[in-house]
Amino acid sequence: MNIPKLQEGISTAVRSRVFPGGTLVLGDSKQILMSKGFGRLDYEPSSPVPNPDTTLYDLASLTKPLVTAALTCIMVSKKILDLDSSLSQYFPDTNGKSIGRLKIRQLLDHTSGLPSWRPFFRRLILNGLPVPSAESRKALLEMVLSEPLENEPGEKYVYSDLDFIILGRLLEVLEGSPLDVLAQKHLFKPLDIDGAMFFNLLKQSRPQAQGRDVAPTEKCSWRNRVLRGEVHDENAWAAGGVEGHAGLFGTAMSVLRLSRIWLEGLEDKGLLSACSKKFVQTPSGKLLGWDRPSEQDSRAGSIPGTQSAFGHLGFTGTSVWISRETKMIAVLLTNRVHPDRKDRGMAKARIEIHNALWKAGSSMTRGESA
């Protein structure tokens, strides 16, 4: 299907080296409207065109809604977890401390009062711990739970990786299994998804990605290699590659499927039928685990029904946006951090590509020529 505006946006971004290439999928609650690979996996002339069905991208912060929030939603629906319970109930060492008073809900909506980010990986290395290792993973949680609050809980929205590191570890406490095992058990296996996974560096030291179609990310100066099949996020990597804020790899098709269960849940269907409304249709208007598109210059472009839409961005150049009004889902996966993280116009590229996607989707659902 020839969609000039979409092709123009993609070609301009690839030519400007915003990213070497990527994949995109546009679908609704029932069907795939568009699926496309573009550019190349990297900047080598012989590099293949990415495939929406098979090429794995480091999804970065898409881990937060697609795995951590979804698993939390499932635990809430099973009454294993209460959104208004305090953190100290699950981490006894926080009892009597400010962080122990945090509600699970405040971690999900980023009003915990915790800082946005801390370079824990540097402290782990300076402390002489082997990274990644079981020791560094344990120490990371201790550092996060010892971090002082910057604001009173519930007072201010601050998007924070720390919130979801804690949530990921909390899920492990609840079921006594690692987060990657929980994701396989409760999400990937029931949904018959083989295109989403964590590369657990504590199980094997890097060969897991061999033989797989994995897009590279950064040529890391302190890890001394181009990362491929290793999580780009430094804190997640230092703890073994499996965390609640980052670590998930996936294809565009798998991201669509993991996003679609939220739409299905809003219609009282599927895995999240008993809980999705508590996360994306809250009385306060705050979303749990998801972001809402900005009213101006949104990276989601001109998404239909902005006020009720939700989605998320990933630092590596990934995104998913969901229009509740049209039930359309747009997935865009790139490795814009290859070979380095310098921003070459990703925000503009996101907007232009999404504008074209929503327009094409509208035309296709009306049966018009795009």
Element (H, E) at 50: none
> Are residues 298 and 340 located together in one domain of the fold?
yes
Count Cα neighbours of 36 within 13 Å in the Cβ-side half-sphere.
19
> Are residues 236 and 144 located together in one domain of the fold?
no
Q: Does residue 267 fall inside a structural domain?
A: yes
Tell me what the mean pLDDT of segment 41-55 comes to.
97
From 292, 257, 245, 331, select the one nearest 57 (Cα to Cα): 331
pLDDT at 179: 98
pLDDT at 204: 60
pTM recorded for the entire structure? 0.97
From 362, 357, 294, 365, select the one nearest 22 (Cα to Cα): 357
Picking from 188, 207, 231, the residue at the C-terminal end of a domain is: 188
Q: What is the pLDDT of residues 345-355, one digit of tens each?
A: 999 999 999 99
Tell me what the mean pLDDT of segment 296-319 comes to.
96
pLDDT at 368: 60
pLDDT higher than 90, residue 22 = yes
* 1 confidence band (pLDDT: 50, 70, 90): very low
pLDDT at 225: 96
> Are residues 226 and 324 located together in one domain of the fold?
yes
Q: What is the pLDDT of residues 261-283, one digit of tens each?
A: 999 999 999 999 999 999 998 87
From 285, 286, 284, 264, select the one nearest 276 (Cα to Cα): 264
For the domain that residue 174 is a member of, what is the CATH number?
Answer: 3.40.710.10
The per-residue pLDDT of the chain, averaged, comes to: 95
> Are residues 231 and 271 located together in one domain of the fold?
yes
Tell me what the mean pLDDT of segment 99-121 comes to.
98
> Are residues 308 and 221 located together in one domain of the fold?
yes
pLDDT higher than 90, residue 209 = no
pLDDT higher than 80, residue 114 = yes
> Are residues 276 and 343 located together in one domain of the fold?
yes
d(CA 55, CA 9): 21
Query: What phi and psi values does residue 32 have, to the nearest 5 degrees?
Result: -95, 120
Please state the domain count of the chain. Answer: 2
pLDDT at 325: 95
> Are residues 224 and 344 located together in one domain of the fold?
yes
Q: Does residue 144 fall inside a structural domain?
A: yes
Q: Does residue 370 fall inside a structural domain?
A: no
Domain span at 225: 4-63+197-365
Q: Does residue 303 fall inside a structural domain?
A: yes
> Are residues 225 and 296 located together in one domain of the fold?
yes
Rg, the chain, Cα only = 20
pLDDT higher than 90, residue 230 = yes
> Are residues 206 and 343 located together in one domain of the fold?
yes
pLDDT higher than 50, residue 369 = no
pLDDT at 207: 44
* 208 confidence band (pLDDT: 50, 70, 90): low
Picking from 159, 188, 217, the residue at the C-terminal end of a domain is: 188
Element (H, E) at 219: strand 219-220
Tell me what the mean pLDDT of segment 15-42 comes to.
97
> Are residues 213 and 286 located together in one domain of the fold?
yes
Picking from 188, 205, 224, the residue at the C-terminal end of a domain is: 188
> Are residues 209 and 157 located together in one domain of the fold?
no
Q: Report the percentage of the chain scoring pLDDT > 70.
A: 97
Q: Report the percentage of the chain scoring pLDDT > 90.
A: 91
pLDDT higher than 80, residue 177 = yes
pLDDT higher than 70, residue 259 = yes
pLDDT higher than 90, residue 212 = no
Q: Is 277 strand, coil or helix?
A: helix
Q: What is the pLDDT of residues 119-166, one digit of tens each?
A: 999 999 999 999 999 999 999 999 999 999 999 999 999 999 999 999
pLDDT higher than 50, residue 247 = yes
pLDDT at 173: 98
Q: Does residue 100 fall inside a structural domain?
A: yes
d(CA 82, CA 99): 17
d(CA 296, CA 319): 18
Cβ(323)–Cβ(298) under 8 Å? no
pLDDT higher than 50, residue 192 = yes
> Are residues 53 and 128 located together in one domain of the fold?
no
Tell me what the mean pLDDT of segment 310-321 comes to.
98
pLDDT higher than 50, residue 206 = no
